[in-house]
Amino acid sequence: MKEYMTKVISQSARSRKRVLVTLDEDQLKSIQSLKGFGTKDAEIVRSIVLAYLSEHNYIKQASIDRDRASEESDRTIKQASDESDREYKLARARGNY
């Protein structure tokens, strides 16, 4: 069995909790085969949990949309930072710094 960490965001966008999820190999293969739920195992599991909770009216869709927008913003900021870091390292290697 493999264990995976996933982030679960509560109703307040400021408090994030980590939850340990244990999946057997068949469950993991099923999770990884899903398209459109995310690119990482943790994103996929989180999306499934949020979809289930939303479907059963435990949480509101607006909360899910807000959390996804926040995650997308975080991802964009990280990508920009990574790109900037690569450009800096390249410039430094060329002797421009």
Q: Which domain holds residue 70?
A: 2-93
The whole-number pLDDT of residue 4 equals: 52
Q: Which residue has the tokens 């493999």?
A: 2
- Asked if residues 73 and 19 have their Cβ atoms less than 8 Å apart, the reply is no
Beta-ladder partners of 4? 21
Positions in the chain whose pLDDT score sits under 50: 6, 8-12
Q: How many domains does the chain have?
A: 1
What sign does the CA torsion over 65, 6, 56, 14 have? negative
Q: Please list, residue by residue across 61-77, b when 16 or more beta carbons sit within 10 angstroms of its beta carbon and e when fewer do.
A: eebbeebbeebeeeeee
**pTM, 2 dp:** 0.47
Q: Quick one: DSSP state of residue 56?
A: T
d(CA 26, CA 9) in angstroms, rounded, equals 26
